[in-house]
Amino acid sequence: MRFDIITLFPEFFESPLQTSLLGKAIAKQIATVHCTNPRDFALDKHRRVDDEPYGGGVGMVLKPEPLFAAVESLPVLPRREVVLMTPQGEPLTQALLSELADCEQIVIICGHYEGVDERVRYLATREISLGDFVLTCGEIPALALLNGVVRLRPGTVGKVESLKAESFEGGLLDYPQYTRPAVFRGWAVPDVLRSGDHGAIASWRQVQQYQRTRDRRPDLWQTWQQQRSRDD
């Protein structure tokens, strides 16, 4: 799987791409990551990529020419998405990550300053948001997207079963997890988890998922109930 990141700061990705499971996946060629700097496609001698907004206002806006040229310089694989990271995009969810994991190529455009020229949206096949907040740069959500997709690719995570039993898979939050010691500072591991009764453990975990999702994320709980009603 190929990732192309359009970024003014390629160095931002150097350490994360060499770390933990993401670094191992890249070393094993499960994914390849290529950074392209739009400044290399600037049209003036100062390699300027931003300008003042039409109509006035504070801040600077990324110009369309370097971004278009950067994206158009890339190879085009058959199953490709061009993603613009923006607070105005669709929320990044586990279901969306699973959909993107089937792509052959994902191009990610990282915004900066006050945003990008509106015409850059014509480049994108998707606009994606990390959440209802604003960050200093688009590299942070781009890295989150890259990480979330790569971990779903075969060979990244050792035990594939672990991908099926975690938060948001199936629309619910994960159940509580414990390890040794059995008692820590007076807090004990629930007896059922030490019982050896796998049926009872499975039932306990399911109840915990229901309770946690209902109490902590009522929005997810409502969506999950509606989906179950439709399936029934």
pTM equals: 0.88
Q: What is the pLDDT of residue 169?
A: 64
Q: What is the pLDDT of residue 134?
A: 87
What's the length of the chain?
232
Instruction: Name the 3-class secondary structure at 6.
Output: strand
Question: pLDDT > 70: what percent of the chain?
Answer: 95
- C-alpha span between 61 and 46 (Å, rounded): 16
* Mean pLDDT score, 216-223: 94
Q: Quick check: 159 pLDDT over 70?
A: no
Q: Which residues contact 67 (CB under 8 A, 6 or more apart)?
A: 6, 38, 49, 109, 116, 117, 120, 123
Strands annotated E in the chain: 2-6, 32-36, 50-51, 61-62, 80-91, 105-109, 126-129, 183-184, 187-188
* Mean pLDDT score, 17-23: 95
* Span 98-157, pLDDT tens digits: 999 999 999 999 998 788 999 999 999 999 999 999 898 999 999 999 999 999 999 999
Domains and CATH numbers, the chain: 2-150 (3.40.1280.10), 165-231 (1.10.1270.20)
pLDDT grade for 30, boundaries at 50, 70 and 90? very high
- C-alpha span between 106 and 152 (Å, rounded): 14
- C-alpha span between 220 and 232 (Å, rounded): 18
Question: pLDDT > 90: what percent of the chain?
Answer: 84
Q: Please, what is the average pLDDT of the chain?
A: 93
- C-alpha span between 105 and 202 (Å, rounded): 38
